[in-house]
Amino acid sequence: MKSARLVATGLATILASGLASGLASGLASTALAGTEMTVITFDNGWEGWNGTQGPGGTSQIIQTGGNPGPHAHTVFNNFGIEWWTNTNQNFLGDLTRYEQVTISMDVKVEGIWFFFSPVSRNLILDLRSFALSDDFYPWTSVWFNLGPMSANPNWVTYSVTFDPNAKDLPDGWGGYGDETPQAEPILPAHLNFNDITAAVEEMAFSTYEPGFLYGFTDFDIRIDNIRIEGTLPETGPVGDLNDDGVVNVFDLLILLEAWGACPNRGNCPADLNGDGSVNVFDLLMLLESWG
């Protein structure tokens, strides 16, 4: 009974002050969605991605023949080719906000030739940080061999799923930015996998495999559906302070008990909007996700 009266009194006071302040509307309290996904279909152009350009050939969007429709077609003679972005923020920045990330791309290889002989080249996914590189390397990166590409009449999806918060390089991943005495590329000793995934400045699909040298090669490759999908950590509804999946009177009691200035910031779960005190703003957020 004491609890119920406390709740009733608190509610009346708080609702009155909230309404008086005219703050009853406009406070968003959407729980985070489970996943975020971005796909470059080439329906809207490159969307911040690039393909190798220069005297050796071109990368251009072709409106038909993709998987489906528009796609990018790279015809190039060089040591290697790349498709990359350093501007599309959906692929960059702090990937450790996700519990799991899948990055993929569809590829159709018309042909790869080395001195007129068909060859295969590995497709490397490279996550690069320039800020974390030292003077001797253009960037520091973590990279994954998505597999060999060779002439194929069909579209093939190359994909990798990983935990961006791993400290050690996950299986199949390599590092770049320093090297062993045997000249094998490695991450600089002071950096972990998740240091790079937290600071991705450039993402590339590349035929340049760290540690290998290449001669001039002819590439004729189509790409489509460059995709990133990130799984966000499970979060209950806003205001579910006891973590039981619903927002009800038990959560309200916790909030009322914490009413007032937070004892120390960062340890104040009832401060739902993170402004340093538990007050009517937080209460309104809780009430909006009631149930």
Footprint of Ca ion (CB under 5 A): 41-42, 66, 69-71, 224, 240, 242, 244, 251, 271, 273, 275, 282
Cβ distance to Ca ion smaller for residue 94 or 275: 275
From 218, 207, 222, select the one nearest 117 (Cα to Cα). 218
Maximum distance among all Cα pairs of the chain, rounded to whole angstroms = 87
State in angstroms the smallest separation of the CB of 174 from Ca ion.
30
Contact indicator for 146, 124 with CB cutoff of 8 Å: yes
Q: Considering the complex, state which of residue 67 and residue 206 has its C-beta at the smaller distance from Ca ion.
A: 67
49-51 vs 121-129, strand pairing mode? unpaired
Query: Min. distance of Cβ 205 from Ca ion in angstroms?
Result: 16
Return the bridge partners of 38, or none: 228
- Which is nearer to Ca ion, 37 or 212 (by Cβ)? 37
Task: Report the candidate in 140, 205, 144 with the shortest Cα–Cα distance to residue 179.
Answer: 140
Q: Can you point out the beta strands (E) in the chain? A: 35-40, 49-51, 57-66, 69-78, 82-85, 100-114, 117-118, 121-129, 140-149, 156-162, 173-176, 178-179, 185-186, 202-206, 217-231, 260-261, 277-278
| Least distance from Ca ion to the Cβ atom of residue 106, Å | 8
Q: Sign of torsion, CA 205 209 214 218?
A: negative
Give me the least distance between CB of 279 and Ca ion, in Å please.
Answer: 6
Closer to Ca ion by CB, 42 or 144: give it: 42
For Ca ion, the closer of residues 202 and 282 by Cβ is: 282
Work out how close the CB of 245 gets to Ca ion at its nearest, in angstroms, rounded to a whole number.
7
- Tokens (6 digits) for 74: 């790279």
Residue nearest to Ca ion (CB): 66
State the minimum distance, in angstroms, from the CB of residue 209 to Ca ion. 27
Distance CA 37, CA 70 (A): 19
